């Protein structure tokens, strides 16, 4: 016995930044961004904090699941950078929603949501929990270099949440790490020690886009194939793929490599860009609220990111979620 997804939620900042607005900040243009990435706009935090967004997504998911904060046995927040170094963002969410259970964070960059699902699976298998809240949220606008056109056009803020309950709908899951701090990295950037002998690096995202692209295309196909086989299914059995929303070309290439019809891949990268670990649950929530997911549907999810990490899983849709919030 593991888990079923009982409800989903999402939160994105209000402010919509278009490609044209970015064109006034760095040497880029709408045509380049659309054709190379599929992104038309992204949401950027102005008034909202990461805490505001994580709490909003958590409340939506709880309402959609019909679960009270007091019923939660565990909260896992996947984020690269919570509001504070400590306490964890999970602890902040626990306080804000009025829950009393244990809470912690996991950082696996863009793959964080699938890592959190895998951790939750362990708690369900050990019968330690009945209800778990996972919130996956990043606010990369705080840590990208707004003068670097090769990265600042790609990312946006926002994410999603799910509530899990006891069930048999996780059919297979797999996570991988290929240690590499060269192709994608965000240094801490601040060190208060007067004794430390190393130079401080700027706390902005550094990425070799081409390298990540090659890794991603291979990782998506390999990861999804592996979990489909582990679940005892074939590609034909998959009703929906919820992929990490980094670049529409990565999604198109993965569909081709897998031989799964492109129409089965849910995409919202055009509206949000890459929201890091928020991307898969944000897409899952939008697919749920669009009424696309039917009871018993087979859903493959896959993400990749810094680490380099990947996470893939196959779930059966429980159809328990209530009407959209
Ligand atoms: O969650 C994981 C996070 N990361 C990713 O998923 C990123 C994966 N990688 C990618 O999505 C793609 O590699 C990018 C979108 C980052 C880049 O696309 P590309 O087709 O690999 O372009 P490129 O880096 O090879 O650059 C092509 C050209 C270059 O000019 P030259 O050297 O050919 O003259 C770049 O300088 O495009 C130029 N360029 C831009 N031009 C206009 C790079 N960024 C921009 C830009 N606007 N924003």
Read off the CATH number of the domain in which 252 is found.
3.40.47.10
Taking 50 as the pLDDT cut, the residues of the chain under it are: 324-325
One domain for residues 81 and 192: no
One domain for residues 248 and 161: no
Q: Which pLDDT score is estimated for 191? A: 86
- Beta-carbon contacts of 85 under 8 Å, excluding residues fewer than 6 positions away, are none
Asked whether 212 lines ligand 1 (CB < 6 A), one says: yes
Ligand 1 center–CA 208 separation, angstroms: 9
Query: How far does Cα 107 stand from its chain's mean position?
Result: 11
Asked whether 9 lines ligand 1 (CB < 6 A), one says: no
Q: Last residue of a domain, which of 141, 168, 195?
A: 168
Asked whether 245 lines ligand 1 (CB < 6 A), one says: no
Q: Which atom number of ligand 1 is nearest to the Cα of residue 274?
A: 1
CA nearest ligand 1 atom 12, residue: 209
- The answer to whether position 322 is within a domain reads no
CA distances from 69 to 60, 78, 98, 117, 187 (A): 11, 18, 6, 19, 35
Q: Last residue of a domain, which of 168, 196, 216?
A: 168
Helices within the chain (DSSP H only)? 19-23, 30-37, 50-65, 89-97, 112-125, 149-152, 209-230, 248-258, 269-272, 279-289
- The answer to whether position 277 is within a domain reads yes
Asked whether 310 lines ligand 1 (CB < 6 A), one says: no
One domain for residues 115 and 43: yes
One domain for residues 221 and 306: yes
Domain count, the chain: 2
One domain for residues 141 and 286: no
- The answer to whether position 323 is within a domain reads no
Ligand 1 center–CA 210 separation, angstroms: 7
> Which residues are part of the catalytic machinery?
110, 244, 274
Instruction: Please give the residue range of the domain that contains residue 136.
Output: 2-168
One domain for residues 228 and 304: yes
One domain for residues 255 and 154: no
Ligand 1 center–CA 153 separation, angstroms: 10
* DSSP 8-state code for residue 155: B
DSSP strand pairing (41-43 vs 16-18): antiparallel
One domain for residues 15 and 85: yes
One domain for residues 53 and 147: yes
pTM of the model: 0.96
Question: Which two structure tokens, joined as six digits, stand for 291?
Answer: 């009424």
One domain for residues 133 and 220: no
Which residue among 28, 182, 213 has the greatest number of ligand 1 atoms within 8 angstroms of its CB, and so is best to mutate? 213
- The answer to whether position 324 is within a domain reads no
One domain for residues 178 and 135: no
Cα R_g (the chain), whole angstroms: 19
Q: Which pLDDT score is estimated for 243? A: 98
Ligand 1 center–CA 227 separation, angstroms: 30
One domain for residues 107 and 25: yes
Q: Which pLDDT score is estimated for 325? A: 44
Q: Last residue of a domain, which of 168, 197, 224?
A: 168
- The answer to whether position 321 is within a domain reads no
First-residue to last-residue Cα distance in the chain? 28
Of 109, 139, 316, nearest to 216 by C-alpha is: 109
C-alpha angle 186/17/248, rounded to 5°?
70
Q: Which pLDDT score is estimated for 201? A: 86
């Amino acid at each position: 016995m593991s888990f079923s997804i009982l409800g989903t939620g999402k939160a994105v900042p209000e402010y919509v930044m278009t490609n044209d607005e970015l064109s006034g900040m760095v040497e880029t243009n709408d045509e380049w961004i659309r054709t190379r990435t599929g992104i038309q706009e992204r949401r950027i935090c102005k008034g909202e904090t990461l805490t505001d967004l994580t709490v909003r997504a958590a409340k939506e998911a709880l309402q959609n699941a019909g679960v009270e904060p007091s019923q939660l046995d565990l909260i896992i927040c996947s984020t690269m950078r919570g509001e504070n170094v400590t306490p964890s963002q999970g602890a902040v969410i626990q306080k804000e929603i009025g829950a009393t259970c244990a809470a912690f964070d996991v950082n696996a960059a863009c793959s964080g949501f699938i890592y959190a699902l895998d951790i939750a699976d362990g708690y369900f298998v050990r019968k330690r929990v009945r209800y778990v809240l996972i919130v996956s949220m990043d606010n990369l606008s705080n840590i990208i270099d707004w003068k670097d056109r090769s990265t600042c056009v790609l990312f946006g803020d926002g994410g999603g949440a799910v509530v899990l309950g006891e069930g048999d709908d996780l059919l297979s899951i797999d996570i991988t790490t290929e240690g590499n701090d060269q192709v994608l990295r965000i240094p801490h950037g601040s060190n208060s020690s007067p004794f430390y002998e190393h130079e401080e690096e700027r706390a902005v995202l550094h990425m070799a886009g081409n390298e990540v692209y090659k890794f991603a295309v291979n990782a998506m196909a390999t990861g999804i194939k592996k979990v489909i086989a582990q679940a005892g299914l074939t590609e034909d059995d998959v009703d929906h793929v919820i992929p990490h929303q980094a670049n529409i070309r990565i999604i198109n290439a993965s569909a081709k490599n897998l031989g799964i019809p492109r129409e089965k891949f849910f995409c919202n990268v055009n509206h949000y860009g890459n929201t890091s670990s928020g991307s898969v649950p944000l897409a899952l929530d939008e697919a749920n609220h669009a009424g696309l997911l039917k009871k018993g549907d087979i859903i493959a999810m896959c993400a990749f990111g810094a680490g380099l990490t990947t996470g893939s899983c196959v779930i059966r849709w429980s159809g328990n979620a209530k009407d959209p919030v």
